[in-house]
Amino acid sequence: MKQKEKYFFDKNEVIGNKKRAIKTLNELLEAHIKKAPEDSTTENDSHLKKVNLLSYWINTYCRFIKKEKTFDASKNKVYKRGEIIQVDLGFRIGHEEGGLHYAVVLNKKDSPYSDILTVLPLSSKKEYTTPNKFTIDLGNEIYDKLHQKYMQKFNNSIQDVKVSPNPVYAGEKITIAFTVDTTEADKVQKEIDLMKTGSIGLVSQITTISKIRITKPLHYSDAFAGIKLSDESLNIIDKKICELYIGK
């Protein structure tokens, strides 16, 4: 007869589970550290890189758990289908995507009271990257739209230029001081600096996440807010999803 699975643990059993988990984790991290040469770094040694990523993710996961108690999805913006967001997918196993990634919102309609979102993770396009049957080449669309937003913000700041009411006269020359507030444009420029031009949609990595994992945009005023794929690109994504998972 199959032994009945235990669903409840008392306090002492939980403490024991915690101690075993910490011991297992420490042994794993130490084993990888010992395999790394003395002069190695996370850039050239896979063991150190794994230890660093796992340590980072444990800290992040603990932060997520603390945030979960007070998280209120209704205080975040409502996300539209096709909108680009950045999410923390956490520590990856095998060929899963992990860490910070841009992603496309796939929900037809997001609710301010829902704390989950279905997304299509993105990867930056490299020189040797070639799309396969599980991916979509989105080109430079996201980068270009972010640049368009920068130009819009910059042009708005030029229109709102503040001219000094006290010109300075020096012979036949007149010096007029003016001030341009490019704060909003500069915020968008910072996002551009962090992003590479080409984007690849990882259709095989579609996943549903907690909104706690979203790092930006969180509010309508955020620099990254409003960056959205065209209907044409969304139709291509829909077609690829049907091809891979529905068979049409």
Number of Cβ atoms within 10 Å of the Cβ of 230? 12
175-206 pLDDT tens trace: 666 666 788 888 888 888 888 888 999 999 99
Nearest CA to 28 out of 60, 68, 69, 58 is that of: 58
Q: Give CA–CA dist 243/233, Å, rounded.
A: 15
Question: Which of 1-5, 110-114, 164-168, 195-199 holds the top average pLDDT?
Answer: 110-114
Average pLDDT of the chain is: 88
Residue 148 φ then ψ, to 5°: -60, -40
Q: Give CA–CA dist 73/124, Å, rounded.
A: 28
Which CATH number is associated with domain 80-248? 2.30.30.110
Region 96-103: mean pLDDT is 92
Question: Nearest 5 degrees, angle CA 121-CA 124-CA 127?
Answer: 145
Confidence bin at 95 (pLDDT 50/70/90): confident
Task: Using the predicted structure, report yes or no on whether residue 3 has a pLDDT greater than 80.
Answer: no
Quickly count helices (H) and strands (E) in the chain: 5, 11
